Structure 1
Amino acid sequence: MTSSQEWVEIARDIAAKLAVDAVERDRAHETPYEEVRLLKDSGLVTLLGPAEHGGGGQTWETAYRVIREVARGDGSIGQLLGYHYLWAWAVRLVGTEAQIAAVEELYTKDKLFFGGAVNPRDSDLTITEDGDELVYSGHKSFSTGSKVSDLTVLEGVLEGTGDHIFAIVPSRQEDIVFHDDWDNIGQRLTESGSVTIKNVRVPWASAAGYVDRKFQPLTYNTLNVPAIQLVFTNFYLGIAQGALDTALAYTRDHTRAWPYGGDDKASAGEEWYILEGYGDLQAKLWAVEALVDRAGAEISEVLHAPREQLTPQRRGELAVLIAAAKQRASDTGLEVGTKIFELTGARASAAKYGLDRFWRNLRTHSLHDPVAYKRREVGAYALLGQLPEPTWYT
């Protein structure tokens, strides 16, 4: 049985391998089939899967740390792994006990990789009934994991009702068309382009959480948003940590002391402003890490508890804590991504070093939803005692 710390060490080893050619792979912008193969071969894909089917049997607390470590080597691959964990857990969030057992056995035994076509800012997919089948159709602007996924999570609204229905389908079918249109400045290897869903058929029996075509809601169903917001937070932190690691290594090997300040030093490692600058960034990242780890431990306890136990109050408290962690990781990460150039020096801006990729990666994904609203959620809780209402983003 592999321990939690051993899984983190496996993730650290994967990150080191990814970091070797991260700059070149970012430039090439090719579909990361080999990178996902690394995740599968290492066992990280089935970290949360049941041990009886060959999975790691680990908790979300470990999964969050693993996401962070992988992102330290490559932010795109950390994001892919984090989204995979969330979508693999989706059946636990809303499915029946029988559906949970079937999906977890399937993906764990075969080391299948998840993607999702569930962008709430687009119109919902339309679902129509055809006898004992549901038929999904529509278009989504973003589908992270698209071409590297084995399974895709769909979500839509049943025509003539307000009922949202999740379903898990094979990614490789002619009725799912992934478009090669992901061309953003950062997170370039996440395969987050658009997707067209054309009459994808799903048995009614596979409608997640539905029994006799009726859904019985639980507060637990709404944990998908806090859980994935903390996925974001962890790969933001991992990207920032990777930026600091890379900058420190560059300064040790290349940065020269400044000879015109009246306090000449023999090396950059003696230069007071460089030491002060790195000390400030490191302290801030340690502080963010402590907050993020606290959030990970608290939501992990809830995610692995009986689903019926979760109350709206506890759910809201977790959402606020994660909102606080996310804003800190985003703001501090962006500061690190900028400040490292002042500490490494002019030559570090050469394209061959790729130091800009950390800021680009974090800036790109941190726009997923406005961080100002996360600050507002925390403020409303602190000042007014208000908990955020569950939505697609809170």
Structure 2
Amino acid sequence: MKAIVSKRYNIIMSVGQCRNAKKLELSEVEGSLKEHNAKLWDYAAEIRRTNPGSHVEVFLEPQPDNTMVFDIFYVSFKGVVDGWLGGCRKVIGVDGCFLKGVYRGELLSAVGRDVNNNIYPLAWAVVNVENKRTWKWFLDNLMEDHIGGGSGHGITILSNGHKGLFEVVKERLPDVEHRLCARHILANFHKKFKGEQYFKPFWRANNCTKETSDNNVRGHKMLGNAEVMYAEAKRFELGFGHMPKFWVPYVSGYKEFEVFSGNERYVVDLNQRSCGCKGWQLTDIPCVHAISTISSLNLDVEAFVSNSYTKASFLSSYEYNIHPLNDSSEWPRVEGLLTILPPLRRRLPGRPCVKRKRDHAERELSGHTRHTVSRAGIPLRCTICYQTGHNKATCPSKPTPTPSTAGPSQSTPAPSTPTLDVNEVPLKKAHVKRAPMKKTL
């Protein structure tokens, strides 16, 4: 900005003037933080008007001077809740990220997975800081909307290793199945064990069905494309390929079979809908061992697939709409409530960090890894006598300062300089290090 103004208008501006001008322009375009917080009551009223039944909450923090500052803002749309309850799998992923706009708080979000393994947004909240208290408040509202309270039975939650979130899940949802994100596990694993040779074995172990593994929420479609997803779902047809070969089932009891191929054998129970490989239990889709058993009985394989994967379930996930909102000038005015002030700035000890601290794996993927040469194995060399084995702080030839007995008008004589042998100075020219000059009063 300083260079552009100097070139265009032939005016020299300081960095402080440029910073103040930019701050003024941004406040005029985006509005001040105080104006944004004052419209939260109107924003919540507009959401309730356009999307009846939606859950919107504003939590304020009282101050000693009887004012109220912003603390938490939670939103969960009615159409999203109905779609998730109607056809999505009971898996919820929660995480938080920093906001870089006018408000420097944090965004807590919860997403689910539809029957096609796509990301399905559930709820979000803006908080001042991510800690145990804010996570508890967020999960309380989330569970009230999506499962009607309870202890979380039948729900799987995916998250990172945030300590406050771990404690809240144990206290608030004791019956939930809490799993960690596989990408975060790999990042922590890479800190201790270096090398790319661990990546492929890790993902092979993660996708193994013989032991319960942690899976990350993945997907490509967002809820904004609900109409497109609904149209595509009408063309879906559920089907399985030909009967798996080389797996031979033998009857062991009522709807209980032993399936083997070579030296491998698994127990398939059609009543419990389970298999010894645990693939059927993890995905709710019959594995190759179960398909061979079901086909040997001339039964329909699709009848043993969970209803969550049916076409009707997918259509029910996207048959509800989120209605748009008008411009802020058209929002209904809410009168009689306290004015919401911006949150207090949190000043942490030390110099504030401007950039986010990147993980080691992120630095390698982005190409910003700084390679430095280690000094391990290089002999220590003194910069005074140029001998190895010590530095200038412990050099025996270091001149010792003598106490001065002269008056304030006399100068202190310079210390004597040791004589150096030219042959003992490697890779540098022989020179004499002069003592620093002192000013005479």
Coarse TM-score class (shorter-chain normalised) = under 0.3
**Greater Cα radius of gyration, structure 1 or 2:** 2
What TM-score, normalized to structure 2? 0.20
Higher-RCO chain (CA-CA 8 Å, sequence separation at least 6): 1
Of Structure 1 and Structure 2, which has the larger fraction of its residues in strand?
Answer: 2
What TM-score, normalized to structure 1? 0.22
Of Structure 1 and Structure 2, which has the larger fraction of its residues in helix?
Answer: 1
